[in-house]
């Protein structure tokens, strides 16, 4: 019988260790170190500045007396800009101990385990502070702030993001999210009625719907190649895609990493497309920030990505890459007067400048840690998770069998007798653990996406809670579905599109 949570039942209590982000002393320590403090160095110079100071443990930067002054100075009278923390020292191993000082940079609520990074990353305090500083600056002096924020984006975000992605600065534009970029890339692709586009059965709706739009409005034919979940190897994917191409195929669109964490052989698929004069579109939403991505080396024509997932950027940030050499086949979706020298791929109109400028703080963080280390850390955590899940009766693993086919951060699996949507709601309510469902690709799967700030203790906790959920005996407050029409999953609206 399907059972749902009685909201009145007592929740699990998992006190945070002293000194961890949930510990009250942590907030105090963080604010003393500058989270809410201000200095007189100006917006572009400090709030968004690279943290080029000493690593953790070394004397901290900021004007003398900043922290003490900030506690007593009214905000309105204080020139805005939080004192930057020095960058976190680069961890030398993927273990919890080596990453403890990095976790200390997050302000997660006590007792909460956040393991839904594939949906939305949890930005470090420095990113939240940079965004707040940007909005404060706009309230204080909009003209100057717009200018300063624009400068910060042009000088401290776009070039560094391009370097991180293995692209030239002129090949990328900022967007609100991956979805916006995926639409711009698809709508801008030059296609005639009757031309064919090949997508896979594992596209996120954000990657599928723009092509459906082209089919409805422009007479383009969209073909879908079925890719099994999980698939056996990169070879299998390449063979299936190759077999599904036709002489009329003009564009090929697929994920670098799918929503469920399957890792595609991107370079080989792009080479296949290139050899046949087909435009290749990559959905990089689940890749950028999780592991190193070199777009020139991958050889794709476009790549659309979220920056608010694995890169831990402000919510509402994304990027569109269009290879310079693809400008003759991908037009601006917005500007009728774009030229190859001014391709104008970016969505027009007023943008969230504080959000975009806040990306500088995310890049500070990523550069300090090294994306390759982030990948190693996330892989370490998901390997441990997979090991622990393997001991659960009734568990069917659905992530790819090896590193060639599964990404470092996301793990999917089914648990016999457990509805995935319900499991998400119950774990959130009962244990303050945030995971997600993956009821796609024919699965009733649970998705756990671990990031650098998760710990083995949290991995242990989520596995224990899932074991208890399966047994139900440890959840005495769980009621039957008949007693709770609609169910908690519907109440909480947990089934979304991310």
Binding site for ligand PLP (CB under 6 A): 119, 177-179, 204, 206-207, 255, 258-259, 283, 285-286, 306, 318, 498
Smallest distance from ligand PLP to CB 350, Å: 19
In a 13 Å sphere around the CA of 466, the CA atoms on its Cβ side amount to 33
Whole-number Å distance between alpha carbons of 498 and 291: 19
Comparison of 259 and 434: residue with beta carbon closer to ligand PLP: 259
Comparison of 337 and 493: residue with beta carbon closer to ligand PLP: 493
Comparison of 206 and 333: residue with beta carbon closer to ligand PLP: 206
Smallest distance from ligand PLP to CB 488, Å: 23
Q: Is the dihedral of CA 188, 189, 190, 196 positive or negative?
A: negative
Comparison of 161 and 469: residue with beta carbon closer to ligand PLP: 161
Whole-number Å distance between alpha carbons of 435 and 466: 11
Comparison of 265 and 318: residue with beta carbon closer to ligand PLP: 318
Smallest distance from ligand PLP to CB 285, Å: 3
Whole-number Å distance between alpha carbons of 183 and 114: 29
Comparison of 204 and 461: residue with beta carbon closer to ligand PLP: 204
Q: Which helix (H) or strand (E) is 219 found in, with range?
A: none
Whole-number Å distance between alpha carbons of 64 and 391: 54
Per DSSP bridges, beta strands 436-438 and 445-449 are: antiparallel
Comparison of 178 and 374: residue with beta carbon closer to ligand PLP: 178
Question: What is the chain's Cα-based Rg?
Answer: 23
Smallest distance from ligand PLP to CB 255, Å: 5
Smallest distance from ligand PLP to CB 389, Å: 21
Q: List, in sequence order, every residue forming a beta bridge with 279; answer none if it has no partner.
A: 251
Smallest distance from ligand PLP to CB 222, Å: 17
Comparison of 85 and 295: residue with beta carbon closer to ligand PLP: 295
For the chain, the first-to-last Cα distance in angstroms comes to: 29
In 3D space, the residue among 401, 376, 117, 466 whose CA is nearest the CA of residue 259 turns out to be: 117
Whole-number Å distance between alpha carbons of 337 and 344: 9
Q: What are phi and psi of 356, to 5 degrees?
A: -65, -40
Q: List, in sequence order, every residue forming a beta bridge with 255; answer none if it has no partner.
A: 283
Smallest distance from ligand PLP to CB 286, Å: 5
Smallest distance from ligand PLP to CB 377, Å: 21
Helix runs in 109-157, H state only: 125-140, 142-152
């Amino acid at each position: 019988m399907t059972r749902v949570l009685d909201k009145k039942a007592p929740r699990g209590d998992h006190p945070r260790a002293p000194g961890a982000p949930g510990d009250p002393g942590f907030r105090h320590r963080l604010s003393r170190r500058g989270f809410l403090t201000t200095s007189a160095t100006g917006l572009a110079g400090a709030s968004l500045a690279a943290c080029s100071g000493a690593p953790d443990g070394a004397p901290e930067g900021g004007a003398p007396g900043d922290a003490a002054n900030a506690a007593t100075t009214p905000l309105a009278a204080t020139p805005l800009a939080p004192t930057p923390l020095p960058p976190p020292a680069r961890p030398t191993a993927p273990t919890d101990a080596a990453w403890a000082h990095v976790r200390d940079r997050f302000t997660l609520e006590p007792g909460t385990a956040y393991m839904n990074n594939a949906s939305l990353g949890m930005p470090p305090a420095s990113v939240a502070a940079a965004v707040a500083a940007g909005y404060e600056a706009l309230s204080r002096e909009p003209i100057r702030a717009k200018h300063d924020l624009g400068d910060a984006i042009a000088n401290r975000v776009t070039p560094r993001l391009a370097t991180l992605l293995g692209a030239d600065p002129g090949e990328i534009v900022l967007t609100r999210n991956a979805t916006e970029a995926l639409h711009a890339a698809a709508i801008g692709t030059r296609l005639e009625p009757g031309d064919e586009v090949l997508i896979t059965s594992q596209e996120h709706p954000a990657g599928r719907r723009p092509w459906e739009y082209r089919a409805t409005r422009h007479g383009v034919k969209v073909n879908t190649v079925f890719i099994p979940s999980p698939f056996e190897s990169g070879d299998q994917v390449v063979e299936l895609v190759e077999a599904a191409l036709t002489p009329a195929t003009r564009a090929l669109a697929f994920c670098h990493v799918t929503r469920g964490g399957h890792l595609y052989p991107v370079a080989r698929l792009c080479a296949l497309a290139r050899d046949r004069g087909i435009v290749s579109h990559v959905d990089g939403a689940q890749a950028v920030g999780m592991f190193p991505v070199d777009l020139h080396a991958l050889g794709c024509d476009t790549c659309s990505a979220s920056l608010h997932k694995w890169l831990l950027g402000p919510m509402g940030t994304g990027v569109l890459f269009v290879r310079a050499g693809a400008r003759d086949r991908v037009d601006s979706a917005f500007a009728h007067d774009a030229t190859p020298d001014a391709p104008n791929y970016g969505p027009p109109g007023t943008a969230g400048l504080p959000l975009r400028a806040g990306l500088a703080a995310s890049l500070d963080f990523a550069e300090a840690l090294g994306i390759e280390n982030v990948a190693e850390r996330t892989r370490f955590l998901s390997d441990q998770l997979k090991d622990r899940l393997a001991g659960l009766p009734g568990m069917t693993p659905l992530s790819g069998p090896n590193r060639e086919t599964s990404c470092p951060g996301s793990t999917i699996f089914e648990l016999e007798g457990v509805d995935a949507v319900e499991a998400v709601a119950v774990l959130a309510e009962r244990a303050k653990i945030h995971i997600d469902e993956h009821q796609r690709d024919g699965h009733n799967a649970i998705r756990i996406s671990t990031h650098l700030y998760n710990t083995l203790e949290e991995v242990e906790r989520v596995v224990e809670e899932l074991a208890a959920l399966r047994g139900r005996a440890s959840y005495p407050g769980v009621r039957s579905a008949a007693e709770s029409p609609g169910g908690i999953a519907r109440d909480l609206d947990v089934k979304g599109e991310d």
